[in-house]
Chains A and B, each alone.
Chain A
C-alpha cells in the first residue's frame, strides 16, 4: 500500500507524457487489484482512509473507501460523509481508469443513503466534476432517477439542461447498455414534466422515442406514451412521431400505445363531448401506466387551447357563447360565471391577449363580452430571440461538422472508401490484404483530405489517433 501511495504521489506531482502515465496507472491498478480488502482498510494500525487524499490519490482512495464500505469498517454516517466528499473532489483523470470500481462505489453509496434526497447533490457535483459533463456516464441515469424519487426537479435541471454531446463506446464502458441511456432520457423527460417545462420534456422524450435500434424497449414505450400526451400540452394538437424513429420500433408503438393515440385523435377533433367520452374509456389504462395526471392536464389544456384558438376566428365573442360551447372536460362546472373566471385567469397569465367587458347592469340582459386584441409583436423581443437562435444554430452546426469529421475518420468509413477505390479503379492485383491495410488507410485518407471535399485542413490530420480510439467493433 505504501508503494502505491508513493507512486501515486510521484505521478500526480510531475508532468508525464500520456503514454507513460497510462503505463504507470496500469501497473498501479494491477497492484491495487491484488491487495485484499482487509489490508486496504488499515495498515499497521493506521487508517488508510486518512492517509490517502481523495483529490490527489483518488484511485487509491476509491479502492480503500470501497473496501471500507464492503467490510462495514466505518459508520454509515461516515460513509455518506466520506463518499460525498470524494464525489465532490475526485480527480476525473484517474477515475477514468477504474470506472467499474467507481460505479460500485456509487451503487453502495446510493443503497447506504436511506433517502434519495441525500444523494442528489453529491451526484450532481460528481457529474459536474467529470472531465466532460455532457459525456454520458452511468452517473447521469442514477442522478436523474434519484432526482425523480426525491422530487428535486430543480437540482436535476442543472445537469439536464445540458444536452448530451457524447456517449462512451462499448469498448470504453462495457457495463453501459442501451437501457441506461434510454432510461436517462425517459427520466429526464419526466423531470421536466414535473416542472411543466413541456418543451424540454418533449426534447428528452423525443430522444428516447427515436432511440435507434431494431427492437422496442419498454422504456421507449413509456417514453412514447408520455411523448403523445406532452405533445398535446405543448402544441395543442397531436404531434407527429419523430421521423427518425426506426420502423420496428414504430410498429411496437402502434400496437402497444393505442389508447394514447385514440385519445390524441379525440383531442384533435376539438369536440369536447368526444374527448370526454374517450377520456372516460382511456382513463383506467392511463392510471395503470401512471399517466393519469398527465392526461388530466391535457383535458384541462384542451379548454385553454380551444379558447386561445378562438382568437384567430373572432374579434369579440360573448362569454355566454363560449360557455355554451361547453369546453370544460373535467366536470368542474363550466357555467357562464366559471368560464368568465377561467378566461380572466388566462388573460392574467398572458395566455391570450384579450379583455373582458361587462355590459352596464342597467341593460335588460347584462352579459359579458370578450374582446380579443390583435397580436402586436414586439420587434425587439423577436430580434433578440433570433440572435440567440443564430448562436445556437451555429453551435449545433459546428457540432454536426465535428461529427462528420469523426465519422469521416472512422475505420468503417475508410474501409468503405477503400472498397470504392478498389472497385472503381484498378488496384494492383493481389493488393489490399490485411498487411497493407494500414498503408492503404493512410493513403486513402490523404486522398480524402486533399480532395478537399470536406474542407478540412491538413492540421486536422494530426488527429489520426482518433481513428483508432473511436473505431468501434461491429460485434
Chain B
C-alpha cells in the first residue's frame, strides 16, 4: 500500500469511520474469514493488529496450525508486545496430535470401506478425509481426496456435491483452471429444479470469480450480473452478496459502454437487489451513465482502499480504475470536436499538465482518437475519412497478401527443387555452414 493510502486510512481511523473489521468479516464464514483477515494484516498497517488478533482468535477455534503460526508471526512482526503475538505452544502441540490421530482414524476407516467394496461408503470415506484435511489447512490433500470421490459417485447429486467442494477449495487455492472445469462438469449434469435454484447463484459466482481472476472483466461482469438474487448468505464461505454487487458493478464499469450500463446494470431487476447492498456502486454507475464522470471517479476513489483489501479484487483494482478512467475520458470527448485542455482537466479534477500527459499517453496507445494543440491548449478530434481509410487498409492488406504468397511460392519452389538448407554430413561442422562458406562471406562485398 502506498503512502497516500496509508494517510487516508489514518485519517479515517482518527475520524472513527473505519470499516469495522469485525462487521466486515461477519459477512463471511469458514476459512475465507481467516484468509481475508490475514490479507488485511499483510497489506494494511492501521488495521493489521485488529485484523490479526481476530484471525488468531478464529484460528484457535479451528485446527489449522500452519495458518495459526503464520498469523502469529505476522502479528509479532508488527506488534511484538501484543499478548496474542506469542505462539501458544501447548495449543499447537495438542491440535497437531489431534489432527494426526484423526488423519489416521479416517485413513483406517477408508481402508476398511475399500476392503468392503461398497461404493457409497468409500465415497463418504474420501469425503470425510477431505473435510478433515480442509479443516486442518492442508488444501492440496483435501483437493486430492475430493477428486478421488469422483470414481465412487453413484448419483448425480454426489457429483454436484463433490464438484462444489472442489470449486470451493480451488477458489481458495487460486486454481481457477480447475474451477472452470468443474463448473463445466456441473453444467453438463441433469439437475432437478430445486437443485438448479440452489446451484445457479453459486455457479454464476464461481464463473465470475474465475473470469475476474484472469482479468476478463467483460465476461466477469456478465456472469455477476446474471447471478440470481437467491444467493444471500448461502455461500458465504466463498463470497457475500455485497461482493457480487461490487465485483459486478466495477467490472461492468470497466468493460461496458453507457447504453449497456443502463440496459444491463441499472435496469436489471435481479442485480438491483445486489446493488442496494452497495448503494455507492449504484451511484457511481448512475453518474457514469449520466456523463458525470468526475463524480463517478471520485466515488470510486473514496472506496479504493476498501477494494484494495479485498481478497479477490486486490490485484485488479488498479487495472479496473485505469480502464474506467480512460473510458470516461473517451466518452467525455465523444460529442466534441475540440475541447480546451482546461475544461477537460476541470471535468476530471486534475491539473492541466497531468491531463495533457494522460491524454498523450492514451493517444499513443490508440485509445483516444484525438490530437493535442499545445499552442492553443486544445484537444482536437481526429478527422476520419472512412472511405480513404478503407482504401488504405485494403491496399495494405493486398500488399501483405502478395508478399506472403510470393514468399510461400518461393519456399515451395525451393522444396520442389530439393535445395533446402541441409546440415552437413560431418558432425564436427556446426549448423550448416562450412568454414569455406564463412570465408566466402567475409570475402564477399560488404557495403557501408
Contacts and interface: CB of A to CB of B under 8 A. Distances in A.
Interface stretch (B40-48, B90-98, B185-193, B436-444): B436-444
A176 B406 contact: no
Interface in A245-296: 249, 252, 290-294
B60 interface: no
Nearest to A222: B441
A59 B433 CA distance: 36
A216 B445 contact: no
B151 to A, nearest CB: 38
Interface stretch (B76-84, B275-283, B390-398): B390-398
B375 A316 contact: yes
Interface residues of B, number: 56
Interface string B380-411: 10110101100110110011011101111111
Interface string A173-203: 0001111011100010010011000000001
Contacts of B441: 218-219, 222
Interface stretch (A9-17, A25-33, A384-392): A384-392
B149 to A, nearest CB: 43
Contacts of B360: 313
B428 to A, nearest CB: 14
Contacts of A178: 414, 419-422
A437 interface: no
B417 A167 contact: yes
B401 A215 contact: no
B423 A214 contact: yes
B398 A393 contact: yes
Interface stretch (B198-206, B324-332, B366-374): B366-374
A169 B416 contact: yes
B447 A193 contact: yes
A396 B407 contact: no
A389 B395 CA distance: 7
Contacts of B448: 193, 290-294
A316 B373 contact: yes
A137 to B, nearest CB: 12
Interface in B87-113: none
A169 B447 contact: no
B409 A379 contact: no
A177 B420 CA distance: 8
A170 interface: yes
B399 A379 contact: no
B388 A379 contact: yes
A157 B169 CA distance: 68
Contacts of B387: 379
Q: Is the interface of A mostly helix, strand, loop or mixed?
A: helix
Contacts of B421: 178, 182, 211-217, 220, 249
B15 interface: no
A314 interface: yes
B393 to A, nearest CB: 11
B395 A385 contact: yes
Interface string A434-475: 000000000000000000000000000000000000101101
B403 A215 contact: no
Contacts of B412: 403, 407
A78 interface: no
Contact of B444 (A145, A177, A317): A145
A181 B420 CA distance: 10
Interface residues of A, number: 81
A166 B413 contact: yes
Most chain B CB neighbours (cut-off 10 Å) among A193, A206, A213, A242:
A213
B338 to A, nearest CB: 9
A35 interface: no
Contacts of A74: none
5 contacts: A167-B414, A190-B447, A218-B438, A218-B441, A318-B375
Question: Which A-B residue pairs are the 6 nearest by beta carbons?
Answer: A293-B448, A213-B421, A215-B432, A290-B446, A213-B420, A218-B433
Contact of A163 (B374, B378, B380, B406): B406
Contact of A386 (B385, B395, B409): B395
Nearest to B405: A396
B416 A318 contact: no
Given A212-B415, A216-B432, A377 B388 contact: yes
Nearest to A153: B447
A315 interface: yes
Q: Which residue of B380, B411, B421, B447 has the most chain A CB atoms within 10 A of its CB atom?
A: B421
Contacts of B444: 145, 148, 183, 187
Contacts of A242: 407
Output the residue of B364, B375, B391 with the most chain A CB within 10 A.
Answer: B375
B373 A210 contact: no
A222 B392 CA distance: 33
Nearest to A181: B419
A389 B408 CA distance: 18
B426 interface: no
A372 interface: yes
A23 interface: no
Contacts of A293: 447-448
A207 B410 CA distance: 8
Interface in A380-419: 382-383, 385-386, 389-390, 392-393, 396-397, 399-400, 403, 406-407, 410
Contacts of B416: 167, 169, 406-407, 410, 470, 472
A169 B417 contact: yes
A372 B418 CA distance: 54
Given A377-B388, A396-B401, 12 more contacts: A148-B445, A169-B416, A176-B419, A207-B407, A211-B414, A212-B414, A213-B421, A218-B437, A396-B406, A399-B405, A400-B408, A473-B418
Given A374-B382, A473-B418, A386 B391 contact: yes
A414 to B, nearest CB: 14
